Amino acid sequence: MPANIVNANDASHIEKAVQILKDGGIVAFPTETVYGLGADAFNPSAVAKVFEVKNRPQFNPLIVHVASIQEASSLWQNTPLSAQRLMEKFWPGPLTLVLPKTQEVPDIVTSGLKTVGVRMPKNEIALKLIRLLGRPIAAPSANIFGYTSATNAFAVAEDFDDKVDMILDGGSTGVGIESTVVKVEKDHVVLLRPGGIDLEEIKKVAPVVPADGVLKKAHESPGEMVSHYAPWTNLSLIGTNFDDSITELRTLQNNFQQKKTPWPRIGVLLFGSRDLSKLEIGNPLFQVVEVLSPEKNLREAAANLFNCLRKLDKMTLDLLIAETLPEQGLGLAIMDRLEKASAGHVPFREFLDNIK
Ligand code: TXA
Ligand code: MG
């Protein structure tokens, strides 16, 4: 076990973490979504360390984590009624609200933007840390920039080893994907990133733009890059018709066999359980099969997503293939992650063509 992972349920470890933060250090901690890499939000040089360790570009603002609605309001110039309602309904929880910031919020936290994103996490360890520090904690997800997010302390250690001062181990995170990020305007909210809170739930409190939650064009969140959350292994999403894609893969496999070219080692990420043996004649198509949720429960799938991706990525496979999920409810946020995770990679047809 890496030396700097400590059990967060031991009060003395939380106290030590608070001291590290007070001294300008950085601490990885659990939230209900993914692990965060935290610094005292009012200490610019501590925040600079977070950018450096994470290899994060300076233009990508951090979310500030608070322990109460009042603490959030003190970071914004004003708190519109819609923001008040959203906080009352969804906090603590995976919703980040972006609003014009006060001067006191350091520019490095917001990458020079005039707004700041704030959320109150639904995790006792995170809340305790913020309360004992007595100041908000600026924290991005605790992963190397561009790579798959971390949903447990070991995943954090894989990325950072001893480059962070302490990793508070609070077990696996429950939600598993990041918070929904919205910018609050006068009479509506603008969706910047789909996430742990379902859009339909937000719509009950304030109108959301875009209403279908599908972010096709460039929008205002600097962190929403085309490629993100990506494993090192080439990841390709297969079409909405799974069986058609399997038939296509089998044809390709036959071509490989005829040419005596070894079939690559492929890992497949499925939404639910499937009897793949029915689809396979001869050699198996896939070396490894990971299932997000046997019963196709979107909550369970979100909770397992990053862990499954990291697991597959460690198996030295040649290619990863992921099934497409329905873009409803949490499916929207999961597909957002899968699309970005595969965006910088080659589609499986092209990948296999290049081997032959
Ligand atoms: O669930 C979460 O949100 C996790 C946990 C640790 O709280 N945090 C997280 O942080 O996902 P990060 O840094 O990986 O993603 C923050 C996103 C980025 O897309 C960033 O561009 C956006 O929030 N963001 C932050 N402040 C913003 C602002 N002022 N205006 C627009 N977008 C902002
Ligand atoms: Mg992130």
Among candidate residues 221, 194, 169, the one with its CA nearest the CA of residue 9: 169
What pLDDT, on the 0 to 100 scale, is given for residue 186?
Answer: 87
Q: What is the pLDDT of residues 214-261, one digit of tens each?
A: 776 556 677 777 788 999 999 999 988 888 998 899 999 999 999 999
What pLDDT, on the 0 to 100 scale, is given for residue 280?
Answer: 65
Cβ neighbours of residue 82 closer than 8 Å, sequence gap 6 or more = 184, 187, 188, 189, 205, 206
Q: What is the pLDDT of residues 50-107, one digit of tens each?
A: 999 999 999 999 999 999 999 999 999 999 999 999 999 999 999 999 999 999 999 9
**What distance in angstroms lies between residue 301's CA and the mean position of ligand 2's atoms?**
18
Above pLDDT 70, what percent of the chain?
A: 96
- Bigger pLDDT: 154 vs 211: 154
CB count within 10 Å of CB 217 equals 5
Grade residue 1 by pLDDT with cuts at 50, 70 and 90.
Answer: low
Q: Is 248 exposed, middle or buried (0-12, 13-18, 19+ CB in 10 A)?
A: middle
Q: Distance between CA 72 and CA 127 in Å, rounded?
A: 13
Per-residue pLDDT, averaged over 153-180, amounts to 96
* Mean of per-residue pLDDT scores for the chain: 94
**What distance in angstroms lies between residue 112's CA and the mean position of ligand 1's atoms?**
14
Q: What is the pLDDT of residues 252-308, one digit of tens each?
A: 999 999 999 999 999 999 999 988 776 666 678 999 999 999 999 999 999 999 999
- What are the beta bridge partners of residue 166? 27
Residue minimizing CA distance to atom 12 of ligand 1: 140
φ, ψ at 36 (rounded to 5°): -115, 155
Which protein residues have their CB within 5 A of the ion that is ligand 2? 141
Q: Tell me the best of 181, 190, 228 to mutate to test the pocket of ligand 1, counting ligand atoms within 8 Å of each CB and taking the most.
A: 181
Q: Distance between CA 54 and CA 71 in Å, rounded?
A: 26
Ligand 1 atom nearest to CA at 121: 7
What pLDDT, on the 0 to 100 scale, is given for residue 217?
Answer: 59
Please name the amino acid found at residue 187.
Answer: D
CB count within 10 Å of CB 24 equals 16
What pLDDT, on the 0 to 100 scale, is given for residue 279?
Answer: 64
φ, ψ at 27 (rounded to 5°): -130, 130
Q: What is the pLDDT of residues 18-31, one digit of tens each?
A: 999 999 999 999 99
Per-residue pLDDT, averaged over 167-196, amounts to 96
| pTM, two decimal places | 0.94
Number of the ligand closest to the Cα of 177: 1
What pLDDT, on the 0 to 100 scale, is given for residue 268?
Answer: 96
Ligand 1 atom nearest to CA at 117: 26
User: Is omega for the bond preceding 44 within 30 degrees of 0, making it cis?
Assistant: no
Tokens standing for 269?
A: 């990420």
Strands of the chain, DSSP E: 5-7, 27-29, 36-40, 63-65, 95-100, 115-119, 137-139, 166-169, 180-184, 189-193, 208-209, 235-237, 266-270, 288-291, 319-322
Q: Distance between CA 346 and CA 342 in Å, rounded?
A: 8
**What distance in angstroms lies between residue 264's CA and the mean position of ligand 1's atoms?**
37
Identify the residues whose C-beta falls under 6 Å from ligand 1. Answer: 31, 33-34, 36, 60-63, 94, 96, 98, 110, 113, 115-117, 121, 139-141, 178-179, 181, 192-193, 220-224
Ligand 1 atom nearest to CA at 142: 6
Ligand 1 atom nearest to CA at 222: 21
